[in-house]
Amino acid sequence: MRLKKVFLIIIVIIVAVLSVFFIINTNRNTEENTAQNNIQNIFTTYTIENSEIGDYIEITGTVEADERNVLSEVSGKIIDLYVEKGQKVSEGDLLVKFEDLEYRIAYLNDLRNYELAINDSSRIKEIKELQLELSKRNLENTELKSPVNGTISEVYIGEDDFVPTNQKIISIVDTNSLRIESVVDEIDLSKVQVGMEALVEFDQLNVSIPAKITLINPVAVNSGGLTTIPIELEFSEDANKYGVIPGITGNVKLIILNAENEIVIPTNALNQDANGNYFVFLKTENEPKKINIEIGDKTDDKAIVKSGLNFGQTLIIYPDEEELQRLENKYNGSNMPFIPGQGASRNFPGGGNQ
C-alpha cells in the first residue's frame, strides 16, 4: 500500500515538471514569434495616389478681420435705428437717422444767402459758397450709412438718444477683409515667401479654401524660448460663402512642393546606386522589384517622379541605416529576423543604398 502511494506521488511530480516545461517553452516561442512579427511590421509600404499637394509646412492659423467704427458726424437726437447686433449689412445701407429739422433750415438759409450774393464781391461769394457746402454736408450726415460689407458687431446707441459729434455709434466687422494670421518656426523661414500658395482647412465647416501669403513680418517674435515669424494670408476665394467668421481656427498647409497631376513619393523610399541613379522597390506578389526612376523637384520629405512609376502602384520602404543598426543592437545581430526579399543582410535587393 505504501509502495503504491509513493508511485502515485512520483507520477504527479513528473506530470507537474512536464507541464512547467511545456508552458515555459510555449511562452518562449510566443515571444520569438512576436519579435519576428514586430520586426517585419517595421517595413512600411506607400501607395501612389493623385494629390494636388506634394509637400507642405503645416501650421495653425486664426481668422481675423478689420473692424470699422462708425462715428457721428453731427450732433442730435436719434430718431431711427435700422440695425441690430449680428445683422449683416452691405456698403451704403442706412444705419441711423438723426433728427434733421435744424440742419434742413440751415441748408435752406445758406442756399438763399448764396443765391442773393450775385452782386457781392468774389470773396464774399466764395465764403457763402463754402457755408452752403458745409450745411449740405451736415444735412447729408444726419443719415449714417455703412462704409463696408460686413456684420454689425456692436451698437452703442438707441432711438431717442442724444448723441454729440464724433461719438462711436456702431462697430462693423469688415467681412471683405477676412484673412488668416499665423506664425512659422524660424527653421522654416527660408522655405516661405510672399505669394506662396496655401490651403486652409476648416474641419468644423468641412471645407478647404485656397489662400496665399501676403505678409511675412520683418521682425521675429521670441516667446517661451521659441522664435517664430508672424505671417498673414488672404483667401483666394470668398470665404464668407463657406461660413467663415473671425476668431475660428484652421489648419494651414503652406505648399512648398506643387504636385498637381504629378507622381509624388516620400524621399525615404528613394535609393541610389553607385552611379547616383535613383531606384525604388515595387511591391509585387512575390519578391520586391527594383525599378529605376527619374526624379524632378524634391524637398526633404517628398520627391516628384518624372518617369518610371504610375498611380496606384505600391512601394516598399526599407528602414535606413540608423534603424537597421538599432534593430541589430536589439536582436544582437545573429537573431536579426529576415527582411522580406532581403534577409538579415544590410544590402538591398539588387544592390545600392538608401
Q: What is the CATH code for 56-65+178-258?
A: 2.40.30.170
pLDDT tens per residue across span 150-197: 999 999 999 999 999 999 999 999 999 999 999 999 999 999 999 999
Torsion region of 173: left, alpha or beta (phi above 0 gives left; psi -120 to 50 gives alpha):
beta
Q: Please say if the pLDDT value at position 21 is more than 80.
A: no
Task: State the CATH class of domain 69-95+144-175.
Answer: mainly beta
The fold of 262-331 is: 2.40.420
Q: What residue spans define the domains of the chain?
A: 56-65+178-258, 69-95+144-175, 100-141, 262-331
Q: Please say if the pLDDT value at position 263 is more than 50.
A: yes
Q: Please say if the pLDDT value at position 275 is more than 90.
A: no
Q: What is the pTM for the complete model shown? A: 0.67
In degrees and rounded to multiples of 5, residue 68 shows phi and psi of -105, 130
Contacts of 28 (CB under 8 A, 6+ apart): none
- Return the C-alpha cell found at 189: 523661414
Closest Cα partner for 63 from 234, 253, 218? 234
Contact 301, 188 (CB under 8 A): no
Q: Please say if the pLDDT value at position 42 is more than 80.
A: no
